[in-house]
Amino acid sequence: MSATLLAVQTLNGLQLGILLFLIAAGLTLVFGVMDFINLAHGVQYMLGAYLAVAGYGITGTFWGALLLGLLGALIVGLVLELLVFRHLYDRDHLDQVLATFGIILFLNEAVRAIWGSTPLTLPMPDILSGSFELMDGLRYPVYRIALIAAGLLVAAVLYVLVTHTRAGMLVRAGATNAPMVAALGVDIRRLFMLVFGFGTMLAGFAGILAAPILVVEPGMGDNLLILAFVVIVIGGIGSIRGAFIAALIVGLVDTLGRGFATDIARLVMSPSAANGVGPAIASMLIYVLMAAVLFFRPTGLFPARGG
């Protein structure tokens, strides 16, 4: 458990945390404002990555891919909202779950039908492709640092938007008491479309950022979606601040857990037993964390509702 390894794992954890935040941010607002559970949010992440790959095919540059990917993700998101989601807001949660599950099945399969099942890659931009020395003997890829920086920047912008603009104020009010906001004469549907489109783009953005370092494959958003759920449950539904902090916690705990659980297990048991138990414990850590948070704070760390 050397210091360099710890540093690298911490950075990797932050990176996962940032991706999770980008996915969870839109999701938590949609939950909060509309009490709408959208399982299809994970496929938006996947679509971002695929559309960026397609965009790269057209433009030949990462930046072109980024732009087309974002635009494509937004368009798909808005089309889905128009065709399906807006008919589900006043339905019960079961209907929402089923319909969005149907969309997942469709989009995952559509991606498989169009691009095939083999993982694709998106080349990273040249200026971000090197690595630099963080400390003695530790080189870390520039791109990953840039990813973390970009995520933090988005988080900061989002924070300002939510706390300092009129739309942001309405969103926060909506998360606390949606009927009240509607009663004030605000067009809650338009507000929601705004939130939804924005959330969709953020998820797509996360997918594009992840594409050069993770594989682009069908279903890549599914697992992150559930991690994002864990983030939202821990952070508290409707809270951007909660999503940010919880995302970093989950990213760090999961990554460090996977990195070191076996080593820690070795301290108390035989190496072979530790090799078996370590990974199992590591994969349970964040869920145990979630259970613990729920046990002590049933509405999450930063509940937006009721206080």
Nearer to other proteins, 144 or 262 (CB): 262
Identity of the residue, 92 or 126, whose beta carbon is nearer to other proteins in the bound complex: 92
Q: Under DSSP, is residue 140 helix (H, G, I), strand (E, B) or coil?
A: strand
**Residue 101 CB, nearest distance to other proteins (Å)?**
5
Least distance in angstroms from the C-beta of 126 to other proteins: 35
Measuring CA to CA, which residue among 283, 302, 138 is closest to residue 223?
283
Question: How far from 276 is each of 222, 264, 273, 280, CA to CA, in Å?
Answer: 26, 12, 5, 7
The candidate with the shortest Cα–Cα distance to 15, out of 252, 276, 245, is 252
| Binding-residue total with other proteins (CB under 8 A) | 48
Is residue 290 close enough to count as binding other proteins by CB under 8 A?
A: yes
Site residues for other proteins, 227-266, by CB under 8 A, read 229-230, 232-233, 237
Interatomic CA distance for residues 84 and 286, integer angstroms: 32
Select the span of 31-39, 53-61, 182-190, 196-204 touching other proteins (CB under 8 A): 31-39
Residues of span 56-85 touching other proteins by CB under 8 A: 84
Are 30 and 38 spatial neighbours (Cβ–Cβ below 8 Å)? yes
- What H or E segment, with its residue span, contains residue 132? strand 131-135
Please give the single-letter amino acid code of residue 109. Answer: E
| 203-232 footprint of other proteins as x/- string (CB under 8 A) | -------------------xx--x--xx-x
Tell me which of 3, 79, 82, 87 binds other proteins, using CB under 8 A.
Answer: 87
Q: How far is the CB of 121 from other proteins (least distance, A)?
A: 22
Which pair of tokens denotes residue 67? 């732009």
Pairwise CA distance, residues 236 & 41, whole Å: 18
Q: Mutual orientation of helices 62-83 and 41-59 as an angle, nearest 10°?
A: 140
Q: Which of residues 88-127 bind other proteins (CB under 8 A)?
A: 88, 91-95, 97-99, 101-110, 112-113
For other proteins, which stretch binds (CB under 8 A), given 53-61, 188-196, 239-247, 290-298?
A: 290-298
Alpha carbons 164 and 289: distance in angstroms, whole number: 32
* Site of interaction with other proteins (CB under 8 A): 31, 35, 37, 39, 84, 87-88, 91-95, 97-99, 101-110, 112-113, 222-223, 226, 229-230, 232-233, 237, 275-276, 279-280, 282-284, 287, 290-291, 294-295, 298
